[in-house]
Amino acid sequence: MPRDPHYDILFEPVQIGPVTARNRFYQVPHCNGMGRKFPSSMAAMRRTKAMGGWAVICTEEVEIHPSADHTPWAGGRLWEDRDIPYFARMCEGIHEFDSLAGIELNHAGVTSTNRYSRMPPLAPSAIPVVGHDPLQAREMDMSDIRELRRWHREAALRARDAGFDLIYVYAGHQLSTLSHFLSPYRNRRTDAYGGSLENRARLFREVLEDTKEAVGDTMAVAIRFSVDELMGEQGFTSAGEGRDFIEMIADVPDLWDVNISSWENDSATSRFKSSGFQDDYVSFVKQVTSKPVVGVGRYTSPDTMVSMVKNGHLDFIGAARPSIADPFLPKKIEEGRIEDIRECIGCNICVSGDQSFAPIRCTQNPTMGEEWRKGWHPETIARKTSDDTVLIIGGGPAGLECARALGLRGYGVTLAEASSQLGGRLVHERGLPGLAEWGRVVDYRTYQISQMANVHTYLDSAMDALQVAEFGADHVILATGSTWDRLGIGRENPLGITLATDATVLTPDDIFAGTVVQSPVVVFDDDHYFLGGLLAEKLRADGNSVTYVTPATEVSSWTHNTLEQQKIQARLMEMGVQIITSHNLSQVSADEAVLTCGYTGAQRTLDCGAALLITMRHPVDSLYTTLLGANLPSLTRIGDALAPSTIAAAVYSGHLCARELGEPPSDGVPFKRELTALSSDFPTGA
């Protein structure tokens, strides 16, 4: 199908210094949890994006020296020449599809703790490192400043030798020593590198000039800069020093990559920020520079992209998360297949991998991170190995993805859903405050399935064991989901909570069913992800008196991994939800809840008209248990019916099942591993 001419502007080439990008789609630097620890996986992931049409594909942060060692974080590392080969592999894959490879060099200063190198961190002024490590950075003297310039220059030359086309001088997210020198609250120097903005920018300008002198004849030199730190006058603002800095060196770099700081604001979830919210802060940049500008906004709509370019706000459509959800987004626009775009839902599960030092994953794209490890491609899949038929019972995230992928393979698939709607848990969760975009998980898959003549969907079609046997499918796959526990069984109470017979005890399933809640409500969150805090928010918005109780030390503690925790807790506090942390819910009676302090064991009571328990989920597997005795040729469980987890895990489970159907079982470890070679250099002597 030909491309809509309205989108032609997105496919115009753009000059960036000495190199040319083939279109306006630009994958900005983003973390991936692979980096130096899993370099083959990292390189294959970036190569896939080049294949999918992204004109510029960049690394994550890349360390330039052991004095800024991010261990245990699995980012890039370019300390010495021995680090070049795995970057060269990445560049080769990107160049294979005529895309440009970019590298984001960084010296992280006070945001690195040097756990591996054991060197004292460096900073413009003596200051504790970011986080809670009992460690301080030492103030850099003039020799340190000269050394930093040398380290950056040498890393730039290594990047050139690795084959990169574009190189960053990084001052974003308050994660680099260069941004720390720029900072009015981290730089307290009184010499030529402190005080005025011109002085605080001196080191940045020197490094920029060093880089252009070293590699600027063959490589584009870009700046990544957080124009507003959302700290008011204490930090950079887009109306103050943020703009002043850009105006100061407007036409010196070959490209401006502008965003806001810090990471949790730059990569805010869809629950708290809509697509394009950063434009309010960065739209002025093109007014003060003649150089190309790239910005981000979780853009997935090509019409919005065209508007950003035509209105003079951006030259490149920057993307991290949308390029993860759909590495082939540019190619789909180019080929006139807009309806096939797998849109990012802004859940930040991708970030959670990096935050936990594990390879990246994605709710929408189950192949993310598996391009090398399992050889998965986001758009193609092996054709069927037989004419077997498949019956999938359950139309939630796992069942929908399994049906979509099996349909793509060419199998004849019947999807039976007991209710009147597809979506499973998302039928209700997508209706919670801020989660509307999560519905894209369902919408994308239902549309794809609707275009497949070999996939048939039936609603209001509950099936029992006899009906399943009579159906006669060669493969039966159960995606029957899970239900929330009603006894309070979970991490803190493995045997459950003491519940009086006259107590009003609810689970999320009751809330979704429309049960009227009797105030005051005690929400007990032993799940620690998004749902406890979000249901407390919903119940409070409905006019209830709500007390949120958790054994953790903070609200929705796991959401640190998705960069939301502070926003969630702040919202509950602003709404008037009482928050009690580090307490277990021990007993519930008709009008009272008993809490036990996790530290001292001291007990206290709360008025309680109803207790909402968010503890653990039970797989709905009774049909599976019954069918085990039915001697079916093939019976499988997937998603929450197998092991309740995140929506991302359910989608992955469904996709894995579809990939493996009809294939020989793996012998041993079911994926490729990257193993570090042992050195022959062993210590000698006693």
- C-alpha 383/C-alpha 578 separation (Å) is 55
Measured CA distances, 132 to 122, 262, 351 (Å) = 17, 18, 21
Task: Name the token pair of 308.
Answer: 């950003």
HSE-up of residue 10 (Cα within 13 Å, Cβ side): 27
Catalytic residue among 30, 70, 152, 173: 173
Last residue of one domain, picked from the residues 355, 378, 406: 355
Confidence grade of residue 466 (pLDDT, cut at 50, 70, 90): very high
Instruction: Answer whether residue 562 shows pLDDT above 70.
Output: yes
Instruction: Assess whether 429 and 541 both reside in one domain.
Output: no
Look up the CATH number of the domain holding residue 222: 3.20.20.70
3-state secondary structure of 648: helix
Query: Is 515 within 8 Å of 506 (Cβ atoms)?
Result: yes
Q: What is the pLDDT of residues 373-399, one digit of tens each?
A: 999 999 999 999 999 999 999 999 999
Catalytic residue among 170, 299, 444, 624: 170
Task: Name the token pair of 107.
Answer: 């010296």
Q: Which domain holds residue 48?
A: 5-26+33-355
Look up the CATH number of the domain holding residue 459: 3.40.50.720
- Mean pLDDT, the chain, as a whole number? 96
What is the helix (H) or strand (E) element at residue 564, kind and residue range? Answer: none
Instruction: Assess whether 100 and 227 both reside in one domain.
Output: yes
Per the structure, the count of domains in the chain is: 3
User: Which among 604, 498, 486, 599 has a CA at the least distance from the CA of 551?
Assistant: 599
SS3 letters across 80-112: CHHHHHHHHHHHHHHHCCCCEEEEEEECCHHHC
Instruction: Assess whether 432 and 557 both reside in one domain.
Output: no
For residue 7, indicate whether it is catalytic: no
Omega of the bond leading into 13 within 30 degrees of 0 (cis):
no
DSSP string, 167-200: EEEEE-TT-SHHHHHH-TTT----STTSSSHHHH
Instruction: Assess whether 153 and 192 both reside in one domain.
Output: yes
Catalytic residue among 228, 254, 257, 266: 266
Instruction: Answer whether residue 685 shows pLDDT above 70.
Output: no
φ, ψ at 614 (rounded to 5°): -125, 85
Instruction: Assess whether 300 and 345 both reside in one domain.
Output: yes
Residue 364 lies in a domain: no
Measured CA distances, 579 to 207, 265, 568, 594, 650 (Å) = 48, 24, 12, 15, 31
- C-alpha 268/C-alpha 347 separation (Å) is 9
Q: Which pLDDT score, from 0 to 100, does residue 233 have?
A: 84
Is residue 143 exposed (0-12), middle (13-18) or buried (19+ Cβ within 10 Å)?
Answer: exposed
- C-alpha 427/C-alpha 483 separation (Å) is 14
For residue 548, indicate whether it is catalytic: no
Is residue 401 exposed (0-12), middle (13-18) or buried (19+ Cβ within 10 Å)?
Answer: buried
Instruction: Find the mean pLDDT for residues 612-635.
Output: 96
User: Which among 112, 121, 105 has a CA at the least distance from the CA of 158?
Assistant: 105
Query: Is 455 within 8 Å of 392 (Cβ atoms)?
Result: no
Measured CA distances, 177 to 65, 117, 140 (Å) = 12, 17, 10
User: Which among 332, 526, 527, 542 has a CA at the least distance from the CA of 433?
Assistant: 542
Q: What is the pLDDT of residues 240-291, one digit of tens each?
A: 999 999 999 999 999 999 999 888 888 999 999 999 999 999 999 999 999 9
Instruction: Assess whether 435 and 564 both reside in one domain.
Output: no
Instruction: Assess whether 581 and 647 both reside in one domain.
Output: no
Instruction: Assess whether 533 and 443 both reside in one domain.
Output: no
Catalytic residue among 31, 58, 344, 657: 31
For residue 228, indicate whether it is catalytic: no
Poorest-confidence range of 76-85, 176-185, 534-543, 673-682?
A: 673-682
- C-alpha 257/C-alpha 242 separation (Å) is 13
Query: Is 547 within 8 Å of 612 (Cβ atoms)?
Result: no
Residue 361 lies in a domain: no
Instruction: Assess whether 222 and 244 both reside in one domain.
Output: yes
Instruction: Find the mean pLDDT for residues 191-213.
Output: 98
Confidence grade of residue 468 (pLDDT, cut at 50, 70, 90): very high
Residue 376 lies in a domain: no
Instruction: Assess whether 142 and 163 both reside in one domain.
Output: yes
Confidence grade of residue 676 (pLDDT, cut at 50, 70, 90): confident
Q: Which pLDDT score, from 0 to 100, does residue 259 have?
A: 93
Write the single-letter amino acid at 169: V
Confidence grade of residue 231 (pLDDT, cut at 50, 70, 90): confident
- C-alpha 334/C-alpha 469 separation (Å) is 46
Measured CA distances, 272 to 265, 424, 447, 563, 648 (Å) = 10, 24, 27, 11, 20
For residue 95, indicate whether it is catalytic: no
Q: What is the pLDDT of residues 108-137, one digit of tens each?
A: 999 999 999 999 999 999 999 998 899 999
User: Which among 418, 419, 416, 403 has a CA at the least distance from the CA of 452?
Assistant: 403
Is residue 421 exposed (0-12), middle (13-18) or buried (19+ Cβ within 10 Å)?
Answer: middle
Instruction: Find the mean pLDDT for residues 21-47.
Output: 96
Query: Is 249 within 8 Å of 10 (Cβ atoms)?
Result: no
Q: What is the DSSP letter of 327?
A: T
3-state secondary structure of 614: strand
Instruction: Find the mean pLDDT for residues 462-488.
Output: 97
Instruction: Assess whether 169 and 111 both reside in one domain.
Output: yes
Q: Which pLDDT score, from 0 to 100, does residue 686 have?
A: 58
Q: Which pLDDT score, from 0 to 100, does residue 644 have?
A: 98
Q: Residue 382's Cα: distance from chain center in Å?
A: 28
Q: Which pLDDT score, from 0 to 100, does residue 677 have?
A: 83
Last residue of one domain, picked from the residues 618, 634, 652: 618
Name the residue with higher pLDDT: 235 or 623. Answer: 623
Residue 63 lies in a domain: yes
Is residue 668 exposed (0-12), middle (13-18) or buried (19+ Cβ within 10 Å)?
Answer: exposed
Residue 559 lies in a domain: yes
Neighbours of 671 (CB within 10 A): 12
Q: Which pLDDT score, from 0 to 100, does residue 264 have?
A: 86
Instruction: Assess whether 489 and 467 both reside in one domain.
Output: no
User: What number of H helices and E strands is found in the chain?
Assistant: 23, 30
Last residue of one domain, picked from the residues 618, 642, 677: 618
